[in-house]
Chains A and B, each alone.
Chain A
Amino acid sequence: MTDTFAADLDSYRTALRANLMRESSLHAWRTRHYATTEERIADHAALMGELYRQGWNRYGWPVAAGGAGGDERHRAVLYDELAAAGLPIPTPHLLLETLGPPVSRFAPELAARYLPAYLRGEEWWGQGFSEPEAGSDLASLRCRARRDGDNYVLSGQKLWTSHGATATRLVCLVRTGTPESRHRGLSMIMVDVDTPGVSRRPIALASGDNELAEVFFDDAIVPASRLIGAEGQGWAIAMYLLQYERAMYAWMSAADALRRLRELRDQLSTRLAAGGTLPGAAAQRLGQCYSQLITLRARSAQTVRRLAAGATVGPEASVDKVLLGGAEIALYDLSRDLLGPEFVFDDTATVAQWRSEWWYSRSATILGGSAEVQRTIIADHVLGLPKEATV
């Protein structure tokens, strides 16, 4: 069975779809609302455990790392079919998509050791890139890793780490070169959160959700065997990672967004059927938003296939990211405008979810490189324009 699905995407899709419709053990996840992010992640992790037990979320990951073979397309199909079946894409998969590929590629032994537990939902990881003084300008980061025999000693701080407060491990970009070495002096390393000297504090988004955390390293000792790739190779690996953070994340988000648009449409149709009205231009914006999401899928599918074929997508992934940002912002602004007073004043779980996702959707043009940064990448590396003037 395993081998057929790995080699034959269509049979994987068909079997998965049938199973998601039929499997009563998954039904509970269709309708749940969560009071906190911690609760949501934990419950979604349990969903991963179920998907792992049945084998579905193992496709697309290397056999040596607990996977069942296949490639990026299998993962894309999983997200798509979950969304189509009205199931959530488990929250820990967001960072799995970002961190799984570089760890599998550049540190296969770490992937073999820890990725199976991730796929089972027993642990999840955080991405420690941003710092207080290194946001868009990532290459200016300062968190230090000083080599000491077989270990690195980490000191410094990471900020805005998604799921950082509950993650088991952090994949961090740290400075192993001189303070002025910019992108040349960076390395990537995996840190266990229970390492002495590591402390963290959750950060709530405006919605009240603890999506993020800040992490402090106070001479935390991390074995050199935890390096991902070689010392000094951090920037190159980060660029490899960003293709996934931009392209796979876009596909995944588009799948979820289409499900949410369907739900919004249903809510509005119900209102219309009850004799209610919609604000002006509602239909036009709905049609526009749907076409944006389909276009994003069209573009993103091409990119996912290229990644699956082993191609380097590079700066072209920024196009996917810009399209995603536009589509997500449009969808959630639409929900806010069309739900209107309900969005602002009501206290139902359904509306609370729209509100919290509205806040989260604002990050579509910030995380993984802001909308402005993506445009600059396209200008530099796709259009080949002369370099930006520096004052």
Chain B
Amino acid sequence: MTSAVTGFDAATIELLATSLREVFTAHPDAQGVAAALDELGWDEVSASDPAAATTLLFTEHGRALAISRLLDDIVLRELTPALPAGTGNRAVLYCHPQHALLLGPLDDITELVTLDGAGNVGIIAAESVSARPIRGFDPGSGWLCIDEIPTARPLLVGDAGQRAVAAARRALCAEIIGICTTALDSAVAHTTSRIQYGRQLATFQAVRHRLAESYVAVEAARAALAAAWADGGVWTARLAKLRAGQAQAELMRHTVQLFGAMGLSQEHELHRRVTRAAALDLLLGGHTAQADEVGAALLAGADLIRVVEI
């Protein structure tokens, strides 16, 4: 069992968070981030407490709206032992019913490892596909889409595929929580400083209650993520992703409202948080689809396991 409680003390976490913040502000691209993390000796940090390190890394990633292939690393770490030896660099192709997504360009990639939400895994040659940049809701993501995928060589990887999905979902939860935290902080700061009707916006109950609800949503997602780490399973990682997706939906609805017109403007950075969180929610299964699947599984007789024990 991976522990989320042992490992780092509060001071270490603060120190690591600061270092990560510096990494993500200094490097706007995937290569830069990877090199800087190497220099920081992140692998070692991560080995000493994977739960805390991954949560920290992806939370800061989210706060900074960073672009990287760190999620591929998480997936490949689970899959590599179960895959045939590679011929060069690999990246992950995240397969959804209508969209196959890449987190970055194919430049130096020779093989794509395909992964879907059910944990099915395959390998295709990178040269056999063409990727187009996504110009969708979140233009800043740097993600790409592949419209025509040759049939992948299906691979029997045991439960490694599902473990990879679970690991990726936990990382995505942390990233979404990171984005939500900055959005909430900025909404608190904004409503505390802006004056209307001769007083701070945050003195109006309607405003205060939206902020409180947003806080509850993030704390709920945090608790669900901690439970997912404590248990390490596929089912709980999915429940945590569902909660994180739900949290971003609620929190972004509230924060956009609280910024007034400014929240809709290109100039203000809030919209980038809204769109990134929406994209991350959909990666490996959005919250409404997840709820649907969980509910269907329950109706089909799945045990209502209680997940958390005292």
Interface size classification for chain B: 35 or more
Which residues of chain A are within 8 angstroms of B293 by Cβ–Cβ distance? 287
Most-contacted residue by chain B among A258, A282, A388 (CB, 10 A): A388
Most-contacted residue by chain A among B205, B220, B246, B297 (CB, 10 A): B220
Contact A386 B200 (CB under 8 A): yes
Contact B306 A80 (CB under 8 A): yes
Which residues of chain B are within 8 angstroms of A305 by Cβ–Cβ distance? 310
Contact A301 B192 (CB under 8 A): no
Q: B286-310 vs A: 1/0 string, CB under 8 Å?
A: 0010111111111101001011111
> Which residue of the partner chain, among A261, A299, A385, contacts B304 with CB atoms under 8 Å?
A261
Which residues of chain A are within 8 angstroms of B310 by Cβ–Cβ distance? 9, 73, 76-77, 80, 301, 304-305
Which residues of chain A are within 8 angstroms of B220 by Cβ–Cβ distance? 295-296, 299, 319, 323
Which residues of chain B are within 8 angstroms of A77 by Cβ–Cβ distance? 310
Give, as a whole number of angstroms, the nearest-CB distance from B249 to chain A.
12
Say yes or no for A180: interface residue by CB 8 A criterion: no
Q: B255-291 vs A: 1/0 string, CB under 8 Å?
A: 0000000000000000000000000000000001011
Give, as a whole number of angstroms, the nearest-CB distance from A249 to chain B.
15
Interface of A is mostly: helix
CB-nearest residue of chain B to A321: B216
Contact A389 B203 (CB under 8 A): yes
Contact B304 A376 (CB under 8 A): no
Q: In the assembly, what is the distance between CA of A281 and CA of B214, in Å?
A: 25
Contact A322 B216 (CB under 8 A): yes
Most-contacted residue by chain A among B188, B202, B215, B223 (CB, 10 A): B223
> Which residue of the partner chain, among B202, B219, B242, contacts A287 with CB atoms under 8 Å?
B242
Given A299-B220, A323-B220, A376-B209, residue A389 in contact with residue B199 (CB < 8 A): yes
Which residues of chain B are within 8 angstroms of A302 by Cβ–Cβ distance? 223, 226
Which residues of chain B are within 8 angstroms of A385 by Cβ–Cβ distance? 188, 191-192, 202-203, 208, 211
Say yes or no for A36: interface residue by CB 8 A criterion: no
Give, as a whole number of angstroms, the nearest-CB distance from A322 to chain B.
5
Given A295-B239, A385-B188, residue A287 in contact with residue B290 (CB < 8 A): yes
Contact B202 A382 (CB under 8 A): no
Which residues of chain B are within 8 angstroms of A284 by Cβ–Cβ distance? 288, 291-292, 295
Which residues of chain A are within 8 angstroms of B246 by Cβ–Cβ distance? 288, 291
Which residues of chain A are within 8 angstroms of B29 by Cβ–Cβ distance? none
Say yes or no for B224: interface residue by CB 8 A criterion: yes
Contact B239 A297 (CB under 8 A): no
Say yes or no for B169: interface residue by CB 8 A criterion: no
Say yes or no for B147: interface residue by CB 8 A criterion: no
Contact B308 A298 (CB under 8 A): yes
Contact B223 A290 (CB under 8 A): no
Q: In the assembly, what is the distance between CA of A304 and CA of B223, in Å?
A: 13
Contact B290 A298 (CB under 8 A): no
CB-nearest residue of chain B to A261: B304
Give, as a whole number of angstroms, the nearest-CB distance from A327 to chain B.
10
Contact A290 B304 (CB under 8 A): yes
Give, as a whole number of angstroms, the nearest-CB distance from B291 to chain A.
4
Q: In the assembly, what is the distance between CA of A302 and CA of B192, in Å?
A: 30
> Which residue of the partner chain, among B221, B236, B304, contacts A265 with CB atoms under 8 Å?
B304
Which residues of chain B are within 8 angstroms of A301 by Cβ–Cβ distance? 227, 308-310
Say yes or no for B213: interface residue by CB 8 A criterion: yes
Most-contacted residue by chain A among B199, B209, B293, B296 (CB, 10 A): B209
Given A379-B211, A388-B208, residue A287 in contact with residue B203 (CB < 8 A): no
Which residues of chain B are within 8 angstroms of A383 by Cβ–Cβ distance? 188, 208, 211-212, 215
Q: In the assembly, what is the distance between CA of A268 and CA of B295, in Å?
A: 12
Which residues of chain B are within 8 angstroms of A9 by Cβ–Cβ distance? 310
Contact B223 A295 (CB under 8 A): yes
Q: B185-200 vs A: 1/0 string, CB under 8 Å?
A: 0001001100000011
Q: In the assembly, what is the distance between CA of A215 and CA of B292, in Å?
A: 48
Q: In the assembly, what is the distance between CA of A299 and CA of B308, in Å?
A: 9
Contact A295 B243 (CB under 8 A): yes
Given A294-B306, A379-B212, residue A282 in contact with residue B295 (CB < 8 A): yes
Q: In the assembly, what is the distance between CA of A209 and CA of B186, in Å?
A: 47
Say yes or no for A313: interface residue by CB 8 A criterion: no
Which residues of chain B are within 8 angstroms of A297 by Cβ–Cβ distance? 227, 306-308
Which residues of chain A are within 8 angstroms of B216 by Cβ–Cβ distance? 319, 322-323, 378
Give, as a whole number of angstroms, the nearest-CB distance from A177 to chain B.
29
User: Which residues between 333 and 391 of chain A lie within 8 Å of chain B, taking CB atoms?
Assistant: 372, 374-376, 378-379, 382-383, 385-389
> Which residue of the partner chain, among A73, A299, A378, contacts B215 with CB atoms under 8 Å?
A378
User: Which residues between 245 and 271 of chain A lie within 8 Å of chain B, taking CB atoms?
Assistant: 258, 261-262, 265, 268-269
Which residues of chain A are within 8 angstroms of B227 by Cβ–Cβ distance? 294-295, 297-298, 301
Contact A379 B209 (CB under 8 A): yes
Contact A388 B203 (CB under 8 A): yes
CB-nearest residue of chain A to B242: A291
> Which residue of the partner chain, among A13, A291, A387, A388, contacts B294 with CB atoms under 8 Å?
A291
Give, as a whole number of angstroms, the nearest-CB distance from B242 to chain A.
5
Contact B212 A298 (CB under 8 A): no
Which residues of chain A are within 8 angstroms of B226 by Cβ–Cβ distance? 298, 302
Q: A67-93 vs B: 1/0 string, CB under 8 Å?
A: 000000100110010001000000000
User: Which residues between 306 and 337 of chain A lie within 8 Å of chain B, taking CB atoms?
Assistant: 319, 322-323
B-side interface residues toward A, CB under 8 Å?
188, 191-192, 199-200, 202-205, 208-209, 211-213, 215-216, 219-221, 223-224, 226-227, 236, 239, 242-243, 246, 288, 290-299, 301, 304, 306-310
When A and B form their complex, which 3 residue pairs have the shortest distance between CB atoms, in order from nearest? Answer: A287-B295, A287-B294, A283-B295
A-side interface residues toward B, CB under 8 Å?
9, 13, 73, 76-77, 80, 84, 258, 261-262, 265, 268-269, 272, 278, 282-288, 290-291, 294-299, 301-302, 304-305, 319, 322-323, 372, 374-376, 378-379, 382-383, 385-389
Other A-B pairs beyond A286-B298, A287-B291, A376-B212, 13, CB < 8 Å: A265-B299, A269-B299, A272-B299, A284-B292, A287-B294, A287-B297, A291-B294, A294-B239, A301-B308, A383-B188, A383-B211, A388-B203, A389-B205
